[in-house]
Chain A
Amino acid sequence: MNHDPMRHLCSDQCGENPQVLGLPVPDSLKREWLTLATRRQFLTRGGKALAWAGLAGLMGREAVSSAQAAPSLNPHFAPKAKRAIYLFMAGAPSQFETWDPKPGLADYYDEDLPESVRGGQLLTGMTANQARFPIAPSYFKFKQHGKAGHWVSELLPHTAKVADELAVIRSLHTDAINHEPAILLMNSGNMVGGRPSIGSWISYGLGSMNDDLPAFVVLTSKLTVFQNIQALSSRLWSSGFMSPEHAGVALRSGGDPVLHLSNPKGVPSKLRREMIDGVAEINRNLHDRIGDPETNARIAQYEMAFRLQTSVPELTNLSDEPESTWLMYGPKAKEEGTFAYNCLMARRLAERGVRFTQVFHRGWDTHGDLPNRMRTLCDDIDQPSAALIADLKQRGLLDDTLVVWGGEFGRTVYSQGRLRPDNYGRDHHPRCFSMWMAGGGVNPGMTYGETDDFSYNIVKDPMHIRDLNATILHLLGIDHTRLTYRFQGLDQRLTGVEPAYVVDKLFA
């Protein structure tokens, strides 16, 4: 909220051409200096980047080029959450059938949306040609749940049971009206690719809490029902202009959870250990002769790879889960790659100290046949999302784990295509949509923001995507204006150069 008019947000806040001892400071060090200038502790970096945590520790005394031990990055202020799980619903779930009930619309069934509401908004190519804009009330009913009295759609019966843990936001809005730019904006703060994703910023800012696992893990959910819809590509978890070590590591379903994690056929673990030792011995010999600290880094890198080969299978081995887990998450949780499986995996990652886990679900682009599709989609995510909240809570993790649920924009009040009471479609709508947050410092049970009678425009407490991202960072102890990365002469940040506001009303 502290937007200082004297400082253009786009400007270098503390820049100059730093020189040390007459030598221009290498970029990496400059960044570290800038980091210091923002009173943050110092992330170790000697020569090239050493990924994740723990490597310096592994390298022991030989770690010439990385004098600092494991990076212990201090947040800007006391964090409410130590880690976050982001359940991303690609394709944009309709707010009408989930979190923004508009019972009054029943009276307007099949009437045209008044032009005054639409306000000459640019439409997508999908409906711009339409003859009429007939209002489509939600086919699904809402009821109040819990002490907080959240209105929850009948499509989300399980989530309704944990409603008291949720803060529902009905006033998100975005700049983009098409999927790709909107998803990029949500995930990287910019509609065009090439920027680091939110998880990369968090990895860069906070580092990892687990020596054996990356700080930023991505789980993409397979869609059993619909095929060929909503691309999810690695650019959504790319580190953009940052060092690739901050990119999300996608745990895959089917085959190795991490690419090439398994030994080749015919290389048993014992021999692999001997190989790693052999590589290390050869490298130590090389290091003795030429003294390049990178060679030591290589030794640590191979050791870490070997440990990943153990830690990841341990992570993905669900045999230690009690029967109650399967009751909570539902039977689909046993099937690799389902959203339910991924929610369970997200909990296991949270337990193991992974900073940021992003679970992608997709298929929410309901231009037509919306009621049927929403039934299927909600059924796919409802129980696992609720289970994740309940499970984190019962393990005492919810207090310091932030959970976020939502998609890239909302959907229109008017039907795309033919309108019937029980079947209709909805086009993209960037002006308002709903999300929820839970855990990690979020005020449970609150509702934030309000839309008009048509859920077309926001009438109270608008919250831009920048505000959402600033708020997520804040809960993790990061001031979004101070988490910067120098690129192309600019101190880049997740929230970009436009003002962004932390919505502290959402905080407990």
Chain B
Amino acid sequence: MTDIDLAGPTRAAIMHDTIHFVLRIRFIVQTLLQYLFLLALPVHLAGMAAAESPIDFNRDVRPILTKNCTTCHGGVMRAGGVSFLYREDVLGEGDSGLPVAVPGHPEKSEMIARIMTNEDAVRMPPPDHHPDPLADEKIEILTRWISEGAEWMEHWAFQPPEKPDLPEISDPSWPAAPLDHFILARLDGEDLAPSSEAGPAEWLRRATFDLTGLPPTLEEYDAFTAAHARDPRRAREEVADRLLASPAFGKRWATMWLDLARYSDTFGFEKDPHRDIWPYRDWVVDAFNADMPYDDFTVRQIAGDLLDDPDPRDLIATAFHRNTQNNTEGGTDDEEYRMEAVIDRTNTTWTAWNAMTIGCVQCHDHPYDPIPHKAYFEFLAFFNNTEDVDIDSDFPRTKVAADPELQAEAVKLEQALVSYRNEINDQARETAVSLDGWSLFRPTEAFITPDTGRLDQRDDGDILSSGTTPDSSVFTLRGPAADIAAIKLEILPLNDDPAHWDERGAVVTNFQAHFVSPEGERREIRVREVVADYITGPFDPQDTLRGNARGFGEFPMMKAPRTAWFVPEEPAVPQPGETLELTLGHGARCNGNHQNTVLRRFRVETTADPRLAEALADPERAGAWQHHASLQSRYNSIDGLTIPVMRERPEAATRETRVFIRGNRTTLDEVVEPNIPEIFGRPEQAESRLDMARWLTSEKNPTSARVLANRLWAEMFGIGIVETLGDFGSSGALPSHPELLDFLAIRLREHHQWHIKPFLREIVLSSTYRQSNRIPANLLEIDPHNRLLARGPRQRLTAEMVRDQGLALSGLMHPELGGPPVFPPQPDGVWNSVYSGATWNISEGPDRFRRAIYTYHKRTAGHPGLLTFDAPDRDLCTEQRQTTNTPLQALVTLNDPAHIEFAAAFATRMADAGDDPETRLVHGYRMLTLRPPEPEILGILVDLHSDALADYRAAPDEAAALADDGTPERAALILVANTLLNSDHALNR
């Protein structure tokens, strides 16, 4: 792994870094208080160091600008017409007409004049907010920067990563992987040496947990030590390969992704009802197990529905962005929450792939980074054209066949049904739009039943409804009859301005036409078909003839005018004296199934042009319908469940995206087209969601490879090279090892072709990872958070690992992959579901003992055992879990009946080792730590055990309460087993 020949870095660069650091390291002090005191100093120190070398914009200048200038002269505020976010602004003029910075000429640069002046009225930063002027060192840096030509660099994260040379190191024998060179070079610079290698037990536990989320077994350990004695390197490689190939790998790594994907088994919001979406979770597990390259992984999740020849499971992958919450509370605005979902998709995409806090740009230009307000909506436009609309049915959905063999057929049928239905409609629509002889229907009588509103026709023929119109309203229109071969209904927005087409939906659900004689005799004009301008949304236009609560129109929101043609079975001719009567029913409800969608503005025209009616009467068309029906019945016959997925609206129904003024969706500005912010390497083609998905992992995008490499690194080492995993922007942390980060990014993308397994394999076999995690006192002071990696990582187990370790050590774990979520024990009353009978029925049998990833995830009431150990509620994308240390965690592992159950089964396995208590205790300790206990530890365990045994013998009732067989011996062993599982050995990896 080390035979890569890379040119070393320049000696000067290393020296520079070394001096840089040595200068600083002297000031390291022992207590946090002093540490904080020092916080006032680094700029000063930076100034000293910088004096020795040319100014580096990102290192020396940008921090000064970001701290002192961009708050007022940035993306949100451009005080005096001056901004320090873009090069052209800095080289341009302020409102004063004076140049901000003139390269090579600090004396002509207004910014220097302003920061150096003693005049309060013009001094920058303004004295009223900043009593002290800029420090001399900072002024000097800015002056030198301009003298040296005001060279501009974009923020580091916006520059594409470049493959660095491997740095020179003090000990060429130390590295086991290229990455080790970077770690060691940095340590060399700090005058630090790496720690010694971890023992086999330590490395095996760390690697096994990191790669599979489970502890190693004693058998695995014994096999490893035996192999290790023969050939340590080969032994480690074999372990790494075994772990990477284990199905447990996917379950561990999927958890990382499911946090980003905000995966949950419920809708969220107040009612938080159940959502079937677990096949997506299984898809992620499978993708990790199959080592699907990240670019594929990305495209399938973001735009699998738009691929020309998708894999049958690619639609399932698109559920990634259907994990957004859906608000079913009565009366909530479906469009508001559809928009929330679209915004969430935008923000989540940026956080997960690019670690950018683009949420800021929703309301205004980014305050620190060069991303304009408009760019947010250009990007949002990629997501703004999917069919989902926050309705209770979670439409649109795809079928996941119970029999995986049928999945391909199910998807094929699903797509055929949509395209075939569109074909049927399109064919008729072509004729419909060519019809002539339309005449406006002017009813002489128009009323609403029940009589709570009214209908009025304007001179231009549009009919407006007003008053109170419940969802049961039926509109009746009576007027002059004519020969009728087609009736055209146009449903119109109330407002003529497209910027305000954000109205409640309008759907006619039951359409009937009659001729009525003067005597009141009604003769039905039987409608054969409803032809639509286009088909979108959850209803089929034909529903209008079926008398249900579905129909034709805009649902749930009115986004555009719509047209439908109602075509009689044959051209209808009125008898003399007859009038035409149309009735338009309503029944569809939007906004949490609470609000009517009656027509508010519409017009009706009729024609005697028979062409459409004739075309529809063609037997070939009947055949087409029959074929459609047979596809449908075949589709219906495939057993399975349906899950929400992404589906694009047809082109004719494309939603317009407009800039929200100050982020408010009700105040709309200009129309924008989909695009990618310029600074992120806009590709040549960026029109569709698929284009965008491909850009995400393309070389054009400067961030995605770094972001993923950093995330994987953080999972393995406990802290990212950039500590803020979700913020690589100017406000985020700087990389501790910038060159290493670039190296890893390129390594992952180019060398490993986005395959994660070989990337992790390199880490797990690296010398850096294999160091002992013992912390010498001096290292704790110098580097408490182990950013320099002069020692191995030691991390607390994740919430999932805490449970899974219990399952594994107790031998209770059921290893099955996939399937619906399960309900392991949790206390009564945690689920307090309103408006539904949802209850937590504890799973019995194998489902009780599945790994944590399969535990039912309810957004408003997560499993307490997991939440307590910092599992997120997943309302939104979680880019980084926080690790806390609270007493409630101890209560879980000490007292939770689930953990007592683990302890009891663990005790059984301890007892299998022999009859002698000491043998059992040693065995238990070994199962947990792989190592025999030191005499002192054994003493502690023996004492605790004998005390417990004595107490239980004295109080057999207590023993009977804890031990299933009621014996004091077993009770005492369970108690010690539980103690072991609560030790710091157990809770860390």
Contacts and interface: CB of A to CB of B under 8 A. Distances in A.
Given A22-B21, A294-B988, A274 B947 contact: yes
A245 B885 CA distance: 8
A25 interface: yes
A301 B31 contact: no
Contact of B987 (A18, A228, A272, A298): A298
A348 to B, nearest CB: 19
Nearest to A486: B731
A265 interface: yes
Contact of B36 (A36, A232, A289): A36
Contact of B888 (A130, A234, A252, A259): A259
B984 A298 contact: yes
A289 to B, nearest CB: 7
Nearest to B886: A51
A267 interface: yes
A17 B596 contact: no
A194 B774 contact: no
A268 B948 CA distance: 10
B982 interface: yes
Interface string A284-313: 011101111111011001101101110000
B12 interface: no
Contact of B787 (A23, A281, A298): A23
Contacts of A298: 885, 984, 987
Q: For this complex, into which size category does the number of interface residues on chain B fall?
A: 35 or more
Interface string B19-63: 011001101100111011011001000100000000000000011
A331 interface: no
Given A48-B796, A235-B875, A279-B982, A125 B891 contact: no
B726 A252 contact: no
A72 to B, nearest CB: 13
B385 to A, nearest CB: 22
B821 interface: no
B192 interface: no
A129 B596 contact: yes
Interface string A125-137: 1101111100000
Interface string A485-498: 01011100000010
Interface string B880-897: 001111111111101111
B39 A261 contact: no
A50 interface: yes
Contact of A125 (B364, B595, B774): B595
A61 B982 CA distance: 23
A229 B329 CA distance: 12
Interface stretch (B84-92, B250-258, B298-306, B775-783): B775-783
Interface string A7-25: 1101111111111111111
Contacts of B860: 231, 233-235
Given A488-B360, A489-B727, A21 B270 contact: no
Interface in B799-849: 827-830, 832-835
A218 to B, nearest CB: 13
Given A17-B734, A21-B25, A292-B773, A489 B368 contact: yes
Given A20-B42, A264-B962, A281 B885 contact: no
B961 A265 contact: yes
A192 interface: yes
A7 B947 contact: no
Main secondary structure of the interface of A (DSSP, over half): loop
B843 to A, nearest CB: 19
Contacts of A376: none
B67 A305 contact: no
B734 A290 contact: no
B730 interface: yes
Contacts of A49: 882-885
Nearest to A298: B984
B83 interface: no
A260 B895 contact: yes
A232 B940 CA distance: 46
A430 B72 CA distance: 35
Interface string A100-140: 00000000000000000000000011101111100000000
A421 interface: no
A271 B975 contact: yes
Given A245-B884, A258-B888, A8 B834 contact: no
Contacts of A14: 67
Given A12-B368, A15-B66, A130 B331 contact: no
Nearest to A51: B886
A10 B363 contact: yes
Contacts of B875: 193-194, 235
A408 to B, nearest CB: 11
Given A20-B35, A230-B834, A245-B884, A262 B20 contact: no
Contact of A44 (B32, B783, B951): B32
B79 A308 contact: no
A428 interface: yes
A278 interface: yes
Interface string A38-61: 000010101111111000000000
B196 interface: no
Chief secondary structure at chain B's binding surface: loop
A65 interface: yes
Contacts of B951: 268, 270-271
B479 interface: no
A235 B269 CA distance: 9
Given A125-B330, A192-B340, A48 B828 contact: no
Contacts of A279: 979, 982-983
B63 A228 contact: no
B906 to A, nearest CB: 14
A461 B955 CA distance: 68
B735 A11 contact: no
B732 A33 contact: no
A305 B894 contact: yes
Contacts of B81: none
A499 to B, nearest CB: 13
Contact of A292 (B39, B363, B788, B794): B794
A258 B723 contact: no
Contacts of B862: 234
B301 to A, nearest CB: 22
Contacts of A286: 983-985
A412 B470 CA distance: 19
Contacts of A225: none
Contacts of B937: 282, 285
A338 to B, nearest CB: 15
A283 interface: yes
A74 interface: no
Given A36-B39, A125-B331, A132-B468, A260 B892 contact: yes
A11 B83 CA distance: 14
Interface string A228-250: 11111111001000011100010
Contact of A8 (B77, B835, B897): B77
A275 interface: yes
Given A19-B63, A255-B827, A275 B885 contact: no
Interface stretch (A175-183, A197-205, A474-482): A175-183
Given A130-B468, A252-B829, 9 more contacts: A25-B39, A26-B787, A67-B31, A125-B591, A234-B873, A260-B827, A260-B864, A292-B794, A302-B894
15 contacts: A11-B367, A12-B368, A15-B67, A44-B32, A46-B32, A129-B596, A178-B332, A244-B867, A259-B827, A264-B897, A267-B958, A294-B794, A428-B331, A486-B731, A488-B727
Interface of A: 4, 6-8, 10-27, 30, 32-33, 36, 42, 44, 46-52, 64-65, 67-68, 124-126, 128-132, 177-181, 192-194, 228-235, 238, 243-245, 249, 252, 254-256, 258-268, 270-272, 274-275, 278-279, 281-283, 285-287, 289-295, 297-298, 301-302, 304-305, 307-309, 428, 486, 488-490, 497
5 closest A-B pairs by beta carbon, nearest first, are A266-B962, A125-B594, A16-B67, A489-B731, A266-B961
